[in-house]
Amino acid sequence: MAFHPEDRVVASCSEDKSIKLWNLDDGGLLSTMRCDSAVLSVAYSADGTKLAAGLDYPSNSVVVFNTQNNEQICSLTGHSNWVSSVSWSPDGTKVASGSYDETVRIWEVATGKELSQLRGHTDRVWSVCFSPDGTKLASGSEDETVLVWDAASGEQLCSLRGHRYAPSLSKECFLSLG
């Protein structure tokens, strides 16, 4: 689920291959977007004009929607397994995706180009999160690690261990990491 930046709309996603946008003022359904696979995660861009969604098998992709007209802008393909998490860069130009294929990928939304494929996890990636300034990316995996990456170079900056199960990261994950 994801809150729209203006806090008046919530996007929910489901295995029924849909994304629903809900009005928080009256609880009404504003719109529904359909995908070709179950939707496992959603995230709004900082300005709220785009919504990214991570898809299950057989798509194993990220789709990006224009939230003004609910039309699909692009499909970002390259993962070989479920996309469990998506996160926007603060400037809204890039999307990071984490997958059951043990990789994290960074995409340029305007072109659909894969900018980086980050390898370091040894099990499914459950969550990804950009730092507030967009210079770092954190990923949490079923391998019980959080890996922190340089978002521009793809260099692994550090490995954080201590969770017993897959760590989950929220967009506030860098409040304590700096």
pLDDT by residue (tens digit) across 106-143? 999 999 999 999 999 999 999 999 999 999 999 999 99
Distances (CA, A) of 143 to 19, 123, 152, 167: 29, 5, 24, 9
Confidence (pLDDT) at 177:
44
Q: How confident is the model at residue 164 (pLDDT cuts 50, 70, 90)?
A: low
**3 state SS of 28:** coil
Domain residue extents for the chain:
38-175
Which strand (E) or helix (H) includes residue 98? strand 94-99
pTM assigned to the model: 0.91
Class of domain 38-175: mainly beta
CB 81 within 8 A of CB 57: yes
Q: Token digits for 56? A: 């299950």
Whether 166 has a pLDDT exceeding 90, the answer reads no
